[in-house]
Amino acid sequence: MKILVTGGAGFIGSHVADAYLAEGHDVLVVDDLSTGKEGNVDPRARLYRLDIRAAELEHVFETERPDVVNHHAAKASVRESMVKPVLYADVNVLGSLNLLDLSRKYQVRKFIYASTGGAVYGEPQYLPADESHPVCPLDPYGASKAAFEHYLPLYHTQYGASFTVLRYANVYGPRQDPLGEAGVVAIFTGQMLRGEQAVINGSGEQERDFVYVGDVSRANILALDRGEGGIYNIGTGMGTSINEIFARLKDATNYQSSAVHGPAKAGEVFKVYLDAEKAASELGWRPRTGLEEGLRRTVEYFRTLA
């Protein structure tokens, strides 16, 4: 199949593109390289440096005629979204809608959408949160990702467009930006390997569901032929505190400093982890990489960059 991966030069998207290439698919990448890196793109994939809002995106569809669109391109920082909510709506809703409408026009067989289980549910009413949990985001990033989800069944009803939504937990692993505002595993790892002071926002008792990027890539492979019209949590079903992540990474990196705590960040959920049993039963997906192994691989990767 010919698969167009938006955000395919970014952290998660590049792993997904690599997984599709490994399965023998023809892969196109659309990425504006605002946060993604050209070096993350396998030379076997064709890279189009474009914003998903750009009118020129139609030329890619007209020329390439992809069978599947896998949509990972997004503005993805909770903190930034609190000060730039209009930008997040513009990229994550209107940009995504531009992509979806081109998919309709050029008869794309399936649209796979990378959403967020870490932000759309807000502060959970129960844990682990399943797909039936009320959607009540606390930040514009989560709101923008949830808003676009509503267009997919609409397009399915009106135009017969096939889709699958994957709501990710907190994805971590190689290629995550250690200098970014999101991705605590990469941020801590980078700081510890550089000998800088790692700062925990708030008490550190916040809990997240940490899922390894390789497992996430496998979910995107399964979604090519399964999960028609479905929404699926992709997570481990377990919460891990930020304090525990700090302690595990301190051991893995041989970091000598103790934790320093800063103020908590506005808009962030305190505790969330996901029930992924629906993905297990309908996609055949379960996480395979334990936290210890995933953190080890991540630290090894960042050591190679030092």
> Shortest CA distance to 15 belongs to which of 284, 219, 234?
219
> Shortest CA distance to 1 belongs to which of 287, 223, 306?
223
Helix (H, G, I), strand (E, B) or coil at 231: strand
Query: H helices of 90-175, where?
Result: 96-105, 140-149, 151-159
Distance of CA 36 to the CA centre of its chain: 13
Selected catalytic residue, list 88, 121, 141, 212 = 141
Distance of CA 208 to the CA centre of its chain: 14
CB 186, CB 174: distance < 8 Å: no
CB 69, CB 6: distance < 8 Å: yes
> Shortest CA distance to 171 belongs to which of 190, 186, 192, 149?
186
Neighbours of 124 (CB within 10 A): 18
Which position has the token pair 């390789």? 214
Integer Cα distance of 69 and 108 in angstroms:
7
Longest dimension (CA), the chain: 59
Integer Cα distance of 52 and 96 in angstroms:
7
Based on the residue annotation, tell me whether 141 is a catalytic residue of this protein: yes
CB 111, CB 69: distance < 8 Å: yes
Q: Which residues are catalytic?
A: 141
